[in-house]
Amino acid sequence: MTGGAAPFRPLRWLTISAGTALLFGLLLFPARGLATEEFARRTGKECANCHVDPAGGGELNAAGKEFLASLAASGKSVPASSVHRGVRFAAGFLHLVTAVMWFGTILYVHLLLKPAYASHGLPRGELLVGWGSIIVMAVTGAVLTVYRIPTWDALFHTRFGVLLTVKIAVFLVLTATAFIVTFIVGPRLKARHAAVDPRKRDLTPGELSSFTGKDGAPAYFAYMGTIYDATGSELWPKGSHMGKHQAGFNLTGMLKLAPHGEDRVRQLPVVGKLLEEGAPGKKPPHLKAFYFMTSLNLFLVFAVLLVIAMWRWW
């Protein structure tokens, strides 16, 4: 858990992963152009009636060009100027990048860090990523919706519009959970852990979880029943080691994943002993709400990905 390698940076990892995923998506799943479902909605015919490609999208055939001309005459055509195309492309690009970063953060927390690492209160970095993503996605999503959906009727009576409505509803639920966790649950989690006496040496696992190395708290972790202080270690900046191990936990089982032996751990200052937790009591309501919402967010992320998959392949 302590080694000579450079610390792993979660933000750098997310940035590289987002860029890679974006490039992969643009190359493998190219967009189908400025298509509209207005013709399909009006006539009940398939997209192949307007496009050269039987699957729909891309170059228009004669019927498609004629219908596009009729839309232009009625003032409902899809904006075709270079300015509008640039705005739409920029909005779509930012929307995709932000979604990758936001969803990547949620998946990273659940699959690698585990939600328990934030049970003492949400770290500032995650809050900035989350709320920044919500604002950018709301603005860019509104711009894309204006370009893609010409009327309210198209929003509720076309396949694309219905899927977009579902996606918007999921986004609003994600935003609501973020608000509740940030302004209601989060402060109570911090208050709960702030009650631990910082002078106490022997700690239970629940008390140990308060010493995360964040917001001025010391960075403690337990190994083989002993609690060690990593606050002054350069390899534990802000209570995080190599982006994989978080202070405030019993890391006994993690040593087998490290490229070194326990001698590196034994070099750190000893705080005290890890005590057994008392008789398990009921979790407070705000802690139950926190775990429920983290699980709900993971489910909602997959729901959004399912909607996107249905847009392209169903």
Give the pLDDT of residue 2.
41
Give residue 156's pLDDT band: very low, low, confident or very high (50, 70, 90). Answer: confident
Q: Of the candidates 27, 8, 296, which has an alpha carbon nearest to the alpha carbon of residue 170? A: 296
Give the pLDDT of residue 122.
67
Place of tokens 């204006």: 146
Burial label for 206, CB within 10 Å (0-12, 13-18, 19+), is middle
Q: Give the percent of the chain with pLDDT over 70.
A: 67
Give the pLDDT of residue 71.
63
CA 193 from chain center: how many Å? Answer: 25
CA distance 46 to 48: 5
Phi/psi for 63 (5° steps) reads -65, -40
Percent helix, strand, coil in the chain (nearest 5)?
Answer: 60, 5, 30
Cα distances (angstroms) measured from residue 43 to each of 13, 46, 72, 73, 121: 48, 9, 18, 18, 54
Q: Give the percent of the chain with pLDDT over 90.
A: 14
CA distance 79 to 85: 7
CA distance 292 to 65: 51
Look at 168 and 254; give whichever has higher pLDDT.
168
pLDDT tens digits, 164-190:
899 999 999 999 988 988 888 777 766
Listed range (100-109, 119-128, 216-225, 232-241) with the worst mean pLDDT: 119-128
Residue 314 above 60 pLDDT?
Answer: yes
Give the pLDDT of residue 79.
46
Give the pLDDT of residue 252.
85
Mean pLDDT of the chain: 74
Mean pLDDT value across residues 229-250: 84
Instruction: Specify the pTM.
Output: 0.57
Residue 44 above 60 pLDDT?
Answer: no
Residues 6 or more apart from 92 whose CB is under 8 A from it?
A: 31, 140, 144
Rg (CA), the chain: 25
User: Is the Cβ–Cβ distance between 304 and 296 less than 8 Å?
Assistant: no
- For every residue of 9-27, which 3-state class applies, written as one string? CHHHHHHHHHHHHHHHHHH
First CA to last CA across the chain, in angstroms? 46
pLDDT tens digits, 204-216:
887 887 788 877 7
The SS3 assignment for 53 reads coil
